[in-house]
Structure 1
Amino acid sequence: MTADQRSQGGSSHQEEAKANGEAGSKRQLPVLVMTAIPMAGHVQPTIHVAQAMVQRGFEVIFITASEFREKVQDAGAEWVEAAKFMTEEDAAARNEIPVPVRVLFDLEKLFLPAIPVRTATVRTVLERIRERDPAREVIVVAESISAAVVGFKYGAPLPRGYDAFPKTIGLNVVPLVVSSDDTAPFGPGLPPDATESGRARNRLLNAGLLEGPFKVIVEKQKQIFTDMGCTRWPERALFDCWLESFDTLFQMCSPSLEYPRADLHPSIRYAGALPKKGISPNYVYPAWWSEIQSNTALPAGAPEKKFVIAVAQGTIATSYDEVIIPTIRALAQREDVIVIALLGVKGASLSADVEIPANTKVVDYMPYDAALEHADLFVSNGGYGSMTHGVINAVPMVVAGMTEDKTEVCARAEYAGLAINLKTQTPSSEEIAAAVQKVLANPKYKEKAVRLMKENQDLDCLAIIEREIMLYSQK
């Protein structure tokens, strides 16, 4: 089977076994050890994959923080505890750091110190599996930014009972952070440029970043890996070695949502965005939900049919003053619009001094897909999960975010033709109103959203991941 065939999804391993006359063998599937950095935007898509693999017959052991224990167990996986990503003290200190340099704080104080702990937890889980069942095959499926398997790639001591580290599959649920001659450094949201002059610019900027602001981070990572017992060091430093340390790394989107790179590492492939997970039968819709359903049921062009605009703030940068409240105010006078404001947390509410217009519905928590199935446009602060939910629902977007990786997510949404990027953390109501009107009035945004949805559906993300697991099984 060629790499191209592997990247196109296909039938499940059960169907392949039947086709090869192996259906009667009933050999035991490998156990999957999965982990993700304990942040909602990283854990939730990884749990989505875990649940799908459980449904396909795999045993899954999932390592993450206690706040996600119930979700892991609901997915049918065994939960193993890991430390939280950030304490309240960490969060307070982080909020004091100016946004442009916050990534340095995140790396030095939060990401790097946690790598030895995550590595040790993976080692312990693998050793327990070997003690319990010495013959059981294991494959590690890890969210890339957890960096939990990188040390083993570079010579950290193997778990007891293993003469080689298990095969590893990475899931990258953020924009690609690998350096390239075709792209500027990750962070400022500069567009790709593969011209001769652009590649010269990119090489200069990438080298300058590692020799300048990131030099202390690179040196600290080297020391951490040395202390873990690593015997060699990757030629490509920092994020590159995180993503390139897997036998296969899946970028969880289609190629159109990323920048083209002629020098992309051969282990990195596109799997497509995760499909809709489905709404829990236990979810209780708000009392006004029938109004949304009735509006959707109206035929296109009906004079009483309204545009449905969903707006959400995400899971990390959660100040409602940044996107949600300005959007409510921007559209308050539009009688042809219904706004669904998704606060994102059960029990959350807007402050009492925020006036809620007649055309606005506010809900503390609602799955994105529930709202987006009825939406004509999605206003977001640019989280990667928000963007991919927009894609799988074929909903064009207006994005505004500058913290974490949001500058780069917003830039990619704009590059793909999915969104208008306001290029600010705090858009005004006037900016939002103008952008919303531009998207609604120009069919090219909806047409592009539909094409992106189909492109991602055709890849069949979960089938690709399952196929790769089976290709590595008992190699």
Structure 2
Amino acid sequence: MSGPPEKPILVATAFDASGHVSGLAQISAHLIKKGYKVYFITGPNTKSMVERTGAFFVENPFPWEEVMAAKGVGKYHDNASIIKYIFGDNTLTAHRVLKETLERVHKDHPGREVVILHEAFSGALGPFEYGAPLPEGYSTLPKAINFHTSVYHGPNGSVPPFGAGGLPYDPTPDNLALWQSMYDAMAPAMADITNHYNDLYKTLGATRPMPGPFLDNILGLGNLTVLATSPSLEYPPCALNPKLRFIGGLPLKPIDQGFGYPSWWPTITANAALPVHSPDKKKVVFVTQGTVHRNYKELILPTIAAFADRTDIIVVATLGARGAELDFRSGTSMTTTTAPANTFIVDYFPYDAVLPYADAFVSNAGYGGFMHGVMNGVPMVLAGAVADKADVCARAEHAGIAVGLRAQEPGEEALRAAVDKVLGEPAFKERALQLQKENQEMDALGKIESIIEELVGKV
């Protein structure tokens, strides 16, 4: 009697940065526990993250940080150059490594089905979609799940244009006309990026150009595109795309049992244990600048300064990197050179360790951090104007879970007013809990496994 059918081999590929790798890494860890074998392609910066999942690490050696420095590309303030020369030029290496890995899998596991898990900005899959030669041993390209790690980019004027400062979603006739005119105005710049990609794809053997703007096309790669969020956190027209699947936010990961909490942590837990109406109970505001873009003058220092004299609030700030330190000597109205009495600062702290104790979460609107806030049911104050941050602010505000400031340096007064608004209006917490429940019930990891089985005909 034959046993159950063998599970397909999974080949994951992601751009070498934590925000692009972490979601697929968490998915891979879950699937490996379910009996799947995963080959995971990314770069050396995120090798340890991948290896902790149990996946087989395959290196993409593209030195994107060196390329960035050589071309003088500002890390967050020149989106077009980043898309062209970092994500784009990475395509040449990423595609080659994916092709070689697929050939290796075919040789090592002849006859086994293969499914590609492709992070949307990986760069590896696109050339195949436009006619580049298949890997040896394959008569058709394996089924592919395209995993996107940010907001959805609308393909037309039905939603505000991505990168236009986080315009609010208000589809009046006038706004629809405005959005379409903005798309039209952006068309030459988008065409330049698309042409750059088409040139790259052609060198890899592509036989036809992508038919439209690059940002639209990357969300159409593979058999379907997955968003690890719920429809309530996107604009309604996005749900009409037949290739799009919402799977809900990825579940919270358990805190490492060996994690060392800071010496002041009992203050936070003791405060949480107080009765809700106790006069001694304080509100906890957690603030982070993220783990990559760590200019503390933009958000952390002004948040600390905004509440330095408040006896009803505790501020917890994480600096996002082990060994990092905070300089109080400039950038705020404070005259002190040390943290105020109501403020606790730690160099690195897992979001999911502190967010269950937080009443408000202040962040620079990185999408991963935003979804941590959602999955912990914490209302937010989001600030940011570069990369996708203003667009994240706009969606969070539209969903009713946050005040979106859409500014890179919002300043003390704006931060104080926004946090007080979130803390003072119960609707924010109520909505945060609704969205947490909605995303939890969608069962993201279970949905991914079901999608894989669907693609290979097991359901």
TM-score range, shorter chain: over 0.9
Moved more, 393-402 or 90-99: 90-99
Runs of 4+ in structure 1 over 4 Å off:
91-98
Kept in 1, the 8 Å contact 2:247–2:448? The answer is yes
1:147 aligns with 2:123: yes
- Aligned match of 2:332: none
Between stretches 287-296 and 255-264, larger displacement belongs to 255-264
Contact 2:149 2:228 in 1 (8 A): yes
1:461 matched to which residue of 2?
444
- TM-aligned CA deviation for residue 429 of structure 1: 1.1
Question: Within 1, Cα distance between the matches of 2:309 and 2:67?
Answer: 42
Query: Quick check: 152-161 or 24-33, which moved more?
Result: 24-33
Asked if the contact 1:137–1:474 (Cα under 8 Å) also holds between the matched residues in 2, the reply is: no
1:319–1:72 Cα change, 3 Å = same
Q: 1:90 aligns with which of 55, 68, 72?
A: 68
The partner residue of 2:56 within 78, 87, 102 is 78
Query: What is the rounded CA distance, in whole Å, between the counterparts of 2:95 and 2:286 in structure 1?
Result: 40
Q: Is the 8 A contact 2:132 2:207 kept in 1?
A: yes
Q: Alpha carbon RMSD of aligned pairs, Å?
A: 1.9
Q: Could you state the TM-score of these two structures normalised by the residue count of structure 1?
A: 0.91
147-156 or 190-199: bigger deviation: 190-199
Q: Provide the C-alpha distance between the structure 1 equivalents of 2:64 and 2:338, rounded to a whole number of angstroms.
A: 34
The whole-number CA distance in structure 2 between the counterparts of 1:168 and 1:195 is 37
1:29–1:96 distance in 2 versus 1, CA, 3 Å:
closer
- Could you say what secondary structure the match of 1:63 adopts? strand
- Give how far 1:96 is off: 5.0
Contact 1:317 1:403 in 2 (8 A): no
3-state SS of 1:365 partner: coil
Contact residue 389 and residue 406 of structure 2 kept, 8 A: no
For the residues of structure 2 that align with 1:45 and 1:29, how far apart are their CA atoms? 21
Matches within 5 A, 1:46-125: 46-84=24-62, 86-88=64-66, 90-91=68-69, 94=72, 96=74, 99=77, 102-125=78-101
Instruction: Report deviation, 1:113.
Output: 0.9
Query: Compared with structure 1, are the counterparts of its residues 59 and 245 closer, same or farther at alpha carbon in structure 2 (3 Å cutoff)?
Result: same
What code does the residue aligned with 1:458 have? E
1:206 aligns with 183
Relative to the length of structure 2, the TM-score reads 0.94
Gaps of 5+ in 1: 1-21
Q: 2:200 aligned to 218, 224, 227, which one?
A: 224
Secondary structure of the 1:308 match is strand
CA displacement 1:320-369 (0-9 Å, x = unmatched): 11100111111111111111101111111112634301111111111111
Partner of 1:5: none
Q: Which residue of 2 aligns with 1:42?
A: 20
Q: CA deviation at 1:143?
A: 1.1
Aligned partners of 1:375 and 1:293: how far apart in 2? 11
Residue 471 of structure 1: SS of its match in structure 2?
helix
8 Å contact kept, 1:183–1:191: no
Q: Distance in 1 between matches of 2:61 and 2:35?
A: 28
More displaced 10-residue stretch of structure 1: 293-302 or 373-382: 293-302
SS in 1 for 2:184: helix
Aligned partner of 2:319 in structure 1 is 343
Q: Percent of counterpart pairs with the same letter?
A: 39
CA contact (8 A) 1:311 1:379 kept: yes
Distance, in Å, in 2 between the alignment partners of 1:205 and 1:148 is 30
Where does residue 433 of structure 2 map in the other structure?
450
For these two proteins, the number of residue pairs brought into alignment is 450
Q: Secondary structure at 1:340's aligned position in 2?
A: strand
